[in-house]
């Protein structure tokens, strides 16, 4: 039997202050730079025009830019997309978005016609074209925020029922931590926040929650056993006991995301980045956010002696268990 | 549960999944030699989203720039019917036309190869009016007043420019000298919206741009001046000065005289003698003398009105106005009944076909504007599928290697279950006729990684039980029992997140949520039920194995 990290007894939680320092620094760095410069919203959110163009000959970017400028489309972002013959053009400044409110295809049509005039009718092919009016973007932004908040609320309720409110709160705080780190990551990587990336973010939240629940499930079980140990030790024990599972799952999932990152192409790459980072932050937050927060909640609002086990579990056997020592250390 | 029953259920599920995914014959519209025909095709019943097969997505809002619409929801409902009719006639395989929210129409046209034309067909108001051209020279009478108004504007534009640049300032001064000095500049009254520039204005600002045409109520404007005249005409002050009871409309086509291009401008009686609401049929045709045209037929009531009205206007000119553009203005030779025609000018037969189509489907009750458009080339879709499948295969290979290398025999059971997982998930997607999108494909690849999580949880549990000295059979039982709560809780909370995503997501994200949900359900079935059954088969078959388990 091949075993890794079997029967370990690391004191994971001891390092929580260091870890908290690292993650807070990361979040402050990311959100700080967010305060300096707004995030890179995709045109789905800001409104505007995105075109993916395929040229028969590698074109000169300056030439594309000057052609667009001559047509009155200023400040468009022109980027190579994969091969030297593929480019994306993004026109999403306020003036261009305002022009979209008359009809979302106007700017895209202008870009297409001027580039075809410049490079030749058959030298440019429009592979993808997206035009979004300003209103749609606002609705999407609101939808994404509602989706995240709603998923938190539902999780809170579900975990309160299945575990108890302390666990639910700790799990949700750990998950919101992942929202912040992922947003910071997006910012530091200069990734564009698109709908797909938001979907990736929500998957990360689900994944991180998954991981927290696996550990909390073990805590719940160990609490039921009624050992004479502090919650601190129970948490450490639970993290150690679930360690082989954590490593195996993260390895396989990471393998899958890595495959996406490397082979699934340019369109899905930001999503794959978010997922890869999500696996890291999800694992981290389960150990170093969820667990210390649970300890903190316990210290702040201690369970009444004798009710802890019955409130934390739903099984009839638990009522016979003795309560364990206080959770603080 | 009895082992035989378990096996039967697994075989049943597998058979059902294969059946759900088996290529079948479906009737769909396919394009053959440029024409859409209904035909039967054999294919795997998995719907691909626009991002995977290419196509066009349109979101249409009510255009309120020309006046507010009172009951948006009702207007959208009516517009929806018209758009649906048009799309059905346009010929697209599996189009989606639906209402989104209260005031938006979503149109999805997979595999479309002429997006611009499709957009025109959807958006064209197709509001047909028949208006008699003005024969009272009403515009000529109003010209002096319009000229005077525009002169004011010019003075205003020029004087405001003096403050900004020196270059325009001198020009502004010049025009101040040439301007009518009896009129004082009144910057609060005059319209500053005209981006007229410095080359126009002055005496006869308007009348010098237009000249009478060949028939009453027709004027011609040089093509280079069309924008300027349009701007003038849209100014509120000018509109107020236009002759009452008349409307001004541009022609849809241009004329050319002696190498110069002109666009006719018509002054028409505001009240149409009849509108397109009585139209029952329209079809394209080509006449040797008039080129491409659309022939239309009116219903009885329409025909009766048309006959009386045209009877009253013999020898007058009747403009046929489509969406506020004059298509043609023939002379009325005698009373016209149920049949008429619209000549297309120089436009091709395709345009005549499209016009006939939109006239048949009816006019849009409200103007629509495109709020959102996405258009994806078929090649990009193919490329995405190809890359998605490559990534998927590599992900599967990696997962299989990790599982086999670490859990050996049990890993092999998990891999067998994983292949059933893939089958079930795809079948579920086909069964719910979910749309497979690129994020969905990514979600699926990801879910392969996550799907083994349940197996890992169970296997680690079995290992723990074995370490506690339990027999193989008990260890397996206990392992599954203990892992259950973690598997259920974690999967249910992920499923809840996916449900929220489905509720609030659109298009591709929705596809992603559906894949995730199908994946969670399938992974719970395979990990908990299928792998357990595999163990049971194994325990039953080999007595010796009960002393040791390769895990």
Tokens of B449: 């990684």
User: pLDDT at position B181, please?
Assistant: 37
Q: Domain A48-132 belongs to what topology? A: Alpha-Beta Plaits (3.30.70)
Tokens of B77: 């409902």
More confident of the two residues A48 and B198: A48
Contacts of B490 in chain A (CB under 8 A): 209-211, 213-214, 217
Mean predicted confidence (pLDDT) in A68-94: 84
Residue pair A2/B405 in contact by the 8 Å Cβ criterion:
yes
* Superfamily of chain region A13-38+137-320: Multidrug efflux transporter AcrB transmembrane domain (1.20.1640.10)
Nearest to B310 by CA among B330, B282, B324, B291: B330
Contacts of B500 in chain A (CB under 8 A): 147, 150-151, 154, 202
User: pLDDT at position B508, please?
Assistant: 63
Backbone angles phi, psi at B35, to 5 degrees: -115, 145
Contacts of A253 in chain B (CB under 8 A): 446, 449-450, 453
Q: Judging by beta carbons within 10 Å of its beta carbon (0-12, 13-18, 19+), is residue A319 exposed, middle or buried?
A: exposed
Alpha-carbon gap, residue A90 to A249, rounded angstroms: 39
Instruction: Check CB contact under 8 Å for A213 and B489.
Output: yes
First to last CA, chain A: 37
| Among candidates B398, B408, B551 on the partner chain, residue whose Cβ is nearest the Cβ of A259 | B398
- Start-end of H helices in B432-471: 438-467
Instruction: Check CB contact under 8 Å for B486 and A218.
Output: yes
Is the model's pLDDT at A303 over the cut of 80? Answer: no
Instruction: Check CB contact under 8 Å for B500 and A147.
Output: yes
Alpha-carbon gap, residue B388 to B380, rounded angstroms: 12
Contacts of B520 (CB under 8 A, 6+ apart): B447, B491, B494, B495, B498
Alpha-carbon gap, residue B187 to A313, rounded angstroms: 79
| Domain chopping of chain A, boundaries | 13-38+137-320, 48-132
Alpha-carbon distance B193 to nearest alpha carbon in chain A (angstroms): 17
Instruction: Check CB contact under 8 Å for A248 and B456.
Output: yes
Using a CB–CB cutoff of 8 Å, tell me whether B389 touches chain A: no
- Angle (CA) A310 A313 A318, round 5°: 55
Residue pair B206/B146 in contact by the 8 Å Cβ criterion:
yes
Alpha-carbon gap, residue B506 to A230, rounded angstroms: 47
- Find the length of chain B: 551
Q: Find the residue in A nearest to B368 (Cα).
A: A103
Q: Count interface pairs A-B at CB distance under 8 A.
A: 245
Residue pair A112/A126 in contact by the 8 Å Cβ criterion:
yes
More confident of the two residues A326 and A122: A122
- The three-class DSSP label of residue B35 is strand
Q: Is the dihedral of CA B400, B402, B408, B409 positive or negative?
A: negative
Tokens of A71: 């047509």
Contacts of B492 in chain A (CB under 8 A): 158
If one counts every other C-beta atom within 10 angstroms of the C-beta of residue B308, the result is 13
If one counts every other C-beta atom within 10 angstroms of the C-beta of residue B166, the result is 7
User: pLDDT at position A25, please?
Assistant: 94
Q: Domain B3-20+377-547 belongs to what topology? A: Multidrug efflux transporter AcrB transmembrane fold (1.20.1640)
| Among candidates A101, A158, A221 on the partner chain, residue whose Cβ is nearest the Cβ of B496 | A158
- Which of A27-31, A111-115, A195-199, B1-5 is modeled with the greatest confidence? A27-31
Is the model's pLDDT at A169 over the cut of 90? Answer: yes
Alpha-carbon distance B388 to nearest alpha carbon in chain A (angstroms): 5
- Return the H-helix or E-strand segment holding B331: none
Nearest to B46 by CA among B526, B482, B533, B511: B511
Which overall architecture, per CATH, does domain B131-358 show?
2-Layer Sandwich (3.30)
- The series of mean pLDDT values per 10 residues for chain B, 551 residues long, is 88 93 72 61 77 85 76 84 82 79 84 78 82 86 82 50 36 38 38 41 72 86 85 81 87 82 90 84 84 86 88 88 84 80 78 81 81 83 85 90 92 93 91 81 78 90 90 91 90 86 73 84 90 90 69 80
Which overall architecture, per CATH, does domain B55-112+364-376 show?
2-Layer Sandwich (3.30)
| Domain chopping of chain B, boundaries | 3-20+377-547, 55-112+364-376, 131-358
Instruction: Check CB contact under 8 Å for B405 and A2.
Output: yes
Mean predicted confidence (pLDDT) in A217-229: 88
């Amino acid at each position: 039997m091949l075993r890794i990290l079997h029967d370990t007894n690391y004191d994971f939680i001891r390092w929580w202050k260091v870890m908290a320092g690292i993650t807070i620094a990361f979040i402050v760095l990311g959100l700080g730079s967010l305060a300096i410069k707004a995030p890179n919203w995709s045109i789905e959110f800001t409104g505007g025009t995105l075109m993916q163009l395929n040229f028969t000959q590698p074109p000169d970017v300056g030439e594309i830019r000057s052609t667009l400028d001559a047509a009155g489309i200023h400040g468009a972002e022109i980027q190579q997309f994969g091969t030297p013959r593929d480019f994306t053009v993004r026109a999403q400044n306020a003036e261009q978005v305002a022009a979209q409110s008359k009809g979302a295809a106007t700017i895209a049509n202008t870009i297409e016609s001027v580039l075809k005039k410049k490079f030749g009718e058959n030298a440019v092919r429009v592979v993808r074209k997206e035009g979004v009016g300003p209103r749609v973007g606002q609705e999407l932004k609101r939808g994404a925020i509602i989706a995240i908040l709603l998923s938190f609320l539902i999780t809170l309720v579900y975990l309160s029922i299945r575990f108890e409110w302390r666990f639910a709160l700790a799990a949700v705080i750990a998950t919101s931590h992942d929202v912040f780190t992922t947003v910071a990551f997006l910012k530091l990587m200069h990734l564009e926040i698109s709908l797909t990336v938001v979907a990736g973010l929500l998957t990360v939240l689900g994944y991180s929650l998954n991981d927290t629940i696996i550990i909390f499930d073990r805590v719940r079980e160990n609490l039921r056993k009624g050992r004479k140990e502090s919650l601190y030790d129970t948490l450490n024990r639970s993290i150690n006991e679930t360690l082989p599972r954590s490593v195996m799952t993260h390895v396989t999932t990471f393998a899958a995301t890595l495959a996406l990152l490397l082979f699934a192409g340019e369109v899905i790459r930001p999503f794959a980045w978010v997922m890869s980072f999500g696996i890291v932050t999800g694992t981290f937050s389960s150990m170093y956010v969820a667990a210390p927060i649970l300890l903190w909640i316990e210290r702040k609002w201690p369970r009444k002696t004798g009710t802890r086990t019955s409130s934390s579990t739903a099984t009839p056997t638990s009522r016979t268990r003795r309560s364990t020592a206080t959770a603080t250390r | 549960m009895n082992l035989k029953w378990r096996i039967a259920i697994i075989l049943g599920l597998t058979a059902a999944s294969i059946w759900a995914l088996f290529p079948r014959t479906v009737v769909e519209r396919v394009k053959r030699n440029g024409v859409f025909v209904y035909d039967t095709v054999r294919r795997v019943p998995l719907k691909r989203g626009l991002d995977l097969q290419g196509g066009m997505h349109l979101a249409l809002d009510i255009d309120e720039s020309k006046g507010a619409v009172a009951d948006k929801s009702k207007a959208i409902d009516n517009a929806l019917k018209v758009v649906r009719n048009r799309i059905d006639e346009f010929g697209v395989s599996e189009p989606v036309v639906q209402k989104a929210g209260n005031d938006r129409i979503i149109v999805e046209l997979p595999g479309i190869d002429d997006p611009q034309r499709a957009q025109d067909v959807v958006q064209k108001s197709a509001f047909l009016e028949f208006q008699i051209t003005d024969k009272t020279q009403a515009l000529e009478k109003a010209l002096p007043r319009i000229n005077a108004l525009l002169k004011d504007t010019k003075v205003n534009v020029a004087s405001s420019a003096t403050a900004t640049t020196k270059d325009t300032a001198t020009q502004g001064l010049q025009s101040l000298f040439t301007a009518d000095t009896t009129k004082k500049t009144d910057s609060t009254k005059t319209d500053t919206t005209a981006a007229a520039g410095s080359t126009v204005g002055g005496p006869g600002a308007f009348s010098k741009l237009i000249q009478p045409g060949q028939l009453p109520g027709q004027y011609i404007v040089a093509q280079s001046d069309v924008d300027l005249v349009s701007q003038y005409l849209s100014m509120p002050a000018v509109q107020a000065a236009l002759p009452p009871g008349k409307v001004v409309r541009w022609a849809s086509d241009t004329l050319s005289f002696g190498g110069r291009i002109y666009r006719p401008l018509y002054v028409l009686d505001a009240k149409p003698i009849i509108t397109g609401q009585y139209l029952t049929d329209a079809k394209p045709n080509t006449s040797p003398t008039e080129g491409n045209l659309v022939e239309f037929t009116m219903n009885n009531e329409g025909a009766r009105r048309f006959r009386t009205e045209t009877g009253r206007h013999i020898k007058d000119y009747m403009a046929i106005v489509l969406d506020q553009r004059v298509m043609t203005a023939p002379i009325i030779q005698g009373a016209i009944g149920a049949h008429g025609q619209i000549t297309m000018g120089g436009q091709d037969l395709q345009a005549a076909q499209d016009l006939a189509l939109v006239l048949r489907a009816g006019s849009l009750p409200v103007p629509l504007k495109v709020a959102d458009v996405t258009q994806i080339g078929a090649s990009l879709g193919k490329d995405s599928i190809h890359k998605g499948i490559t990534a998927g295969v590599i992900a599967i290979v990696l997962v299989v290697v990790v599982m086999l290398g670490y859990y050996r025999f049990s890993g092999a059971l998990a891999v067998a279950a994983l292949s059933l997982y893939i089958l079930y998930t795809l079948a579920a997607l086909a069964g719910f006729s979910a749309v497979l999108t690129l994020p969905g494909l990514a979600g699926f690849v990801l879910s392969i990684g996550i799907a083994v999580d349940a197996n890992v949880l169970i296997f680690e549990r079995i290992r723990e039980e074995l370490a506690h000295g339990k027999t193989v059979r008990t260890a397996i039982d206990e392992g599954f029992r203990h892992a259950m709560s973690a598997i259920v809780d974690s999967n249910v909370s992920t499923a809840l997140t996916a449900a929220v995503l489905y509720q609030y997501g659109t298009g591709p994200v929705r596809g992603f949520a559906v894949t995730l949900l199908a994946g969670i359900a399938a992974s719970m079935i395979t990990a908990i039920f299928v792998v357990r059954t595999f163990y049971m088969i194994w325990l039953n078959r080999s007595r010796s194995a009960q002393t040791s388990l390769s895990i």
